[in-house]
Amino acid sequence: MRIGWSPSRIGWELLAFWTLVPMLIVCAGRDRTLNVATLAFAIIGIGSLGCIIGGGFSQRIGSASVAVAALALSANGCVSFPSLAVAPAGTVLALPLLWGRSVVADSPQSSALWAKDCPPEIVGSALAIQNTIGFSITTAAIPFTTSRIEDWGLHVAWLLLPGPLFGLIALRPLWRRTR
């Protein structure tokens, strides 16, 4: 099994999303009902639930299926987040929480897939290199996205879209197994 390798997924969307969450909440003007810090914590923290649920599902349907579903949900979050400016209150809370749950859920599954695809004697090194490249990309993604929030507003979420799209492309060889 050979899968595409997309370190850009790790650093581009996930960590930039976590950095942008408080700014996006303020930009959405939804900080009146809930404390920004509390809501940001909930949106970021719910990712742990996504990882737990994803881990459970991976035992039944496989890591590739979980990673593809999480990436697709996360891509949807990137595309639809700007609509929160005119969305009803329930959607304003539900969409960021769903995005927060899915944005990280593919990462452990992708790492598991890459670890399975790697010769056992170099798994640790390969995963360390993957994470290093991902974190290096983050050093560009965070300043790039945060510097545009004032001009782009909620549409800055669209700048995160390459992350899940590259992840989906990298997993394309496994899509047949996810159906």
CB 169 within 8 A of CB 110: no
CB 143 within 8 A of CB 20: no
Determine the Cα–Cα distance for residues 140 and 97; give it in Å rounded to an integer: 25
- Evaluate if pTM is beyond 0.95: no
User: Where do the domains of the chain lie?
Assistant: 7-172
Q: What is the pLDDT of residues 49-102, one digit of tens each?
A: 999 999 999 999 999 999 999 999 999 999 999 988 777 766 778 889 999 999
Weakest-pLDDT range from 21-30, 39-48, 101-110: 21-30
Q: Domain 7-172, what architecture? A: Up-down Bundle (1.20)
